[in-house]
Amino acid sequence: MKGEKSEGIVYIAGAGCGNLITEAAKKLIEEVDVIIHDELLGEKVRELIERSKAEKIDAGKRAGRHRLKQDEINELLVKLAKEGKKVLRLKAGDPFIFGRGGEEMEYLAENGVRFAVVPGVSSAIAAPACAGIPITHRRYDPAVVFITGRQARERLNWDALAKLNATIVILMGMANLRENVKRLMEHGKDPETPAAIIQWGCCERQRVVCSKLRDIAEVAEREGVSSPAIVVIGDVVSVREKVVEFFEGFFD
């Protein structure tokens, strides 16, 4: 019944990008009764989950392949919490950056379930950093815009986005990469703008490909780059070329 308080609690937590999990999230993995986790987690995070004594439920949310639909996840969170259990909803990256954490939070509140939030390190900032690309830099664009590559076209003002002097970071950007790049250029984004794709950011298998905006989709196809990956579009990408010779990756 809505408005009725439950005995259990749900923790909506981010597992971070790759293996960049917080100490708070690690502690929850060890202490909760049930873990409902996403698929795109770092290897070390998966090891932590496997060692946990908690019941494990793989929600498996990836584009086009959902073991549990979002409505089913919402209902399961409420059910388990109302059974008096401590439930960890562990999401890749940060729960509130295209992670539907906001929807889950609203649903829990509507159903009288206590919850807490543990932010995670989003791939939107971590993956470029692990590739030697600062998404902000005083010599380049003074703003950053995060968008989802699966955004419905009618919900995004492509004209404003293309003309804004901001670095563009596209999460979940591979499936519609060619179309999104085309729309940016059609609305005025300079085809010569540097662009990069970071696949498996902050993991040992991380890959980075760079090109001009006009060529980035073709380069990605030629190099076989696929999801999970993020796209960075902006002059800050050029910094990588200056530092890459001395740049050491750190993924532990």
CB 15 within 8 A of CB 90: yes
The residues assigned a catalytic role are 38, 61, 172
- Give the whole-angstrom CA distance, residue 172 versus residue 150: 7
Q: Which of 98, 134, 103 is nearest to 10 (CA)?
A: 103
Identify the helix (H) or strand (E) that includes residue 58.
strand 55-58
Q: Is the peptide bond before 128 cis (omega within 30 degrees of 0)?
A: no
Token pair belonging to 7: 């005995």
In angstroms, the CA 147 to CA 52 distance is: 34
Q: Crossing angle of helices 101-110/70-82, nearest 10°?
A: 40
**Token pair 């791939």 in the structure block, residue:** 123
Sort 88 into a burial class: Cβ within 10 Å, 0-12 / 13-18 / 19+.
buried
Alpha helices in 52-176 (DSSP H): 70-82, 101-110, 123-130, 158-163
